Amino acid sequence: MEIRNIAIIAHVDHGKTTLTDAILRQCGAIEANVSMDSNALEKERGITIYAKNASVIYPRPDSGRKPTKINIVDTPGHADFGSEVERVLRSIDSVLLIVDAQEGPMPQTRFVLRKSLQLGLKPIVVINKIDKPAADPERAHEKVLELFYELGASSEQVDFTVVYSISKDGIAKRSLADNSENVYPLLDVILEKVPPVPSERSGRPFLLQPFNLAYDNFLGRMGIARVHEGVITDKASVYVKKTNGDTRMGKITKLFTFNGLKREEIPSAEAGDIVMIAGLPDIYIGETVAQNEDAEPLPAIAVDDPTIVLNFLVNNSPFAGQEGKFVTSRQLRERLEKELEVNVGLRVDFNSPESFTVSGRGELHIAVLLENMRREGYEMQVSQPQAIVREVNGVSMEPFEEVIIDAPERRQGVIIEKLGVRGFILKDMATHEKSVRLSFEGPTRGILGYRGQFIIDTRGDGILSSRFIEFRPYAGEIRKRAVGSMTSMATGKALGYALWNLQERGNLYIGPATQVYEGMVIGDTSKGDELSVNPTKGKQLTNVRASGSDEAIDLVPPLTLSIERGLEIMTDDEYLEITPSNVRLRKKYLSDADRYKSKRKDK
């Protein structure tokens, strides 16, 4: 059976997973209520976080036509998870580039397309969501073509095939005028345009390279890899090679392939297929599994460098150890070491026994790691994320980002003002009906902590997307809007009467009956001043009769403090305390006296 390997790539929320689900359903690979996004965090956030594998047989065996196996890799669309895309591209033959018919190419579209073109892949472009009221498929097609030329695509790559789709309805068609009721036209294009693996490759010694890892309670760690050459069999003896040439022997105990979303045990697999191998407990992403000891290792899987850094520390707050299952430095280290095995975009420095320096691709990249650890029972605290600054030939270099914003035209003034203060320069502006698209460039540290403010400024009507461009000379100091902290000076249970008196000074993060401690940040002040307050103070009772009834306590609902929001709003003198039950902001120095001494010392 012939094999085609494709990855589905796009900007976030352009319809990759919805289209993949439609293909799997119509080919009989999954039931109607099953989705590729099966992870709990993916379901909650509505985005793809981890690259996942599936396969379909098309045409279906009952069609009378020669069937072909199509391996599909669904990838994330958010820029923070770009490393998930980078590591799979070398293991596929082509990509489906999904573009929203209304939004057109977005920052992550540029990133994933550039990576694909650099590897010599010829994309198939899918203009999706053509049923949207403001959809303009022809304009989206023109913008994609411009992007191909801008990224230096070859003449062969520029001659791409376009398919139009409505992924939520499971419809694809070769032209806008066609009538279609399924995704089969897209699958026909894949069979026509994606070349099959040459048969002579199966006659060579086998060679494969894991691009992902999986875990099984009985089989342990397993590698997911494409068979680049040869035929690999169950029980085969192998040589595992690192990129530096180090070699160790091993034996494959189980061999699986993908059938829909499920794995299926097989005796052998030939060149071109994507398989899952068991029996190599210390296999890592990017290593080469070869039949012969003298085989050349395949090139390492390269990913872009991280752009932000922060410290993971053992929780030392007054509530430490009360809510978490894993609380020690050793347990944190082991969990981060395990994460490094599968998260190729992450970097961790273990030089200090008390804190670990973690570098990632963005706030969401780090927030997802922290949320997963929290749900697993880990308790920790982290420092404020900072942009990574490098020294190159004596010049300080920092990461710069392109930011594209779609918002109502009436909101553009406040957006330009806020980003201008944060060091961003307006590069382009385009209006379409009553909306405007603004393109900015500026330092990564300027966008840190802005997304929450952006939602407030646009009343939730704006869309903000960003992508890393490159490291450029340090842009100087950035003046951000000062927001002060409302810090508890007492330990105990917060009372409604005290919070009622405090809420007029700013936004509260806690409600009545919340346990607080000295140095815990319970809210922010709009004027930017630091306030030490007592949220445990009750109303004084006297024996004096009141002529009227007491004034009713009317509390404004507190702001929910999530990990993402905490990383955005925290300052450099604070820690974000994360436990399985709570997310709290706290000062590094808990008492007023210690904070005063620290400020004097810094001066």
Same domain, 457 and 592: no
Q: Is residue 243 predicted with pLDDT exceeding 80?
A: no
Look at residue 37 in the predicted model and tell me its pLDDT: 62
Same domain, 189 and 209: no
Same domain, 394 and 248: no
Same domain, 128 and 220: no
Say if 536 falls within a structural domain: yes
Look at residue 12 in the predicted model and tell me its pLDDT: 86
Interval 368-418: pLDDT, tens: 999 999 999 999 999 999 999 999 889 999 999 999 999 999 999 999 999
Q: In CATH, what number is assigned to the domain containing residue 401?
A: 3.30.70.240
Looking at residue 228, what DSSP letter applies?
E
Same domain, 70 and 168: yes
Look at residue 482 in the predicted model and tell me its pLDDT: 60
On average, the pLDDT of the chain sits at 90
Residue that terminates a domain, selected from 418, 446, 473: 473
CA gap 271, 69 in Å, rounded = 13
Q: What percent of the chain has pLDDT over 90?
A: 59
Look at residue 35 in the predicted model and tell me its pLDDT: 65
Say if 331 falls within a structural domain: no
- DSSP tally for the chain: helices H, then strands E: 15, 35
The residue that leads in pLDDT, 98 or 90, is 98
Same domain, 509 and 541: yes
Look at residue 494 in the predicted model and tell me its pLDDT: 95
Say if 417 falls within a structural domain: yes
Look at residue 331 in the predicted model and tell me its pLDDT: 96
Number of domains in the chain: 4
Look at residue 565 in the predicted model and tell me its pLDDT: 87
What SS3 class is residue 505?
Answer: helix
Interval 296-325: pLDDT, tens: 888 888 788 899 999 999 999 999 999 999
Residue that terminates a domain, selected from 290, 315, 340: 290
Same domain, 136 and 246: no
Residue that terminates a domain, selected from 290, 320, 354: 290
Residues spanned by the domain of 204 = 199-290
Interval 544-582: pLDDT, tens: 655 555 567 788 899 888 998 899 888 889 999 999 999
Same domain, 182 and 216: no
Say if 375 falls within a structural domain: no
Look at residue 576 in the predicted model and tell me its pLDDT: 96
Same domain, 16 and 93: yes
Same domain, 209 and 134: no
Same domain, 186 and 65: yes
**Cβ density class 49-73: b for 16+ within 10 Å, e for less:** bbbbbbbbbbbeeeeeeeebbbbbb
Q: In CATH, what number is assigned to the domain containing residue 58?
A: 3.40.50.300
CA gap 559, 190 in Å, rounded = 48
Same domain, 107 and 150: yes
The residue that leads in pLDDT, 37 or 481, is 37
Q: Is residue 542 predicted with pLDDT exceeding 70?
A: no
Say if 301 falls within a structural domain: no
Q: In CATH, what number is assigned to the domain containing residue 527?
A: 2.40.50.250
**pLDDT average, residue stretch 65-77:** 89
Say if 383 falls within a structural domain: no
Non-local (6+) Cβ contacts of 317 within 8 A are: 381, 517, 519, 520, 577, 584, 586, 590
Cis-peptide, bond into residue 59, ω within 30° of zero: yes
Say if 501 falls within a structural domain: yes
Say if 497 falls within a structural domain: yes
pLDDT classification of 49: cutoffs 50, 70, 90: confident
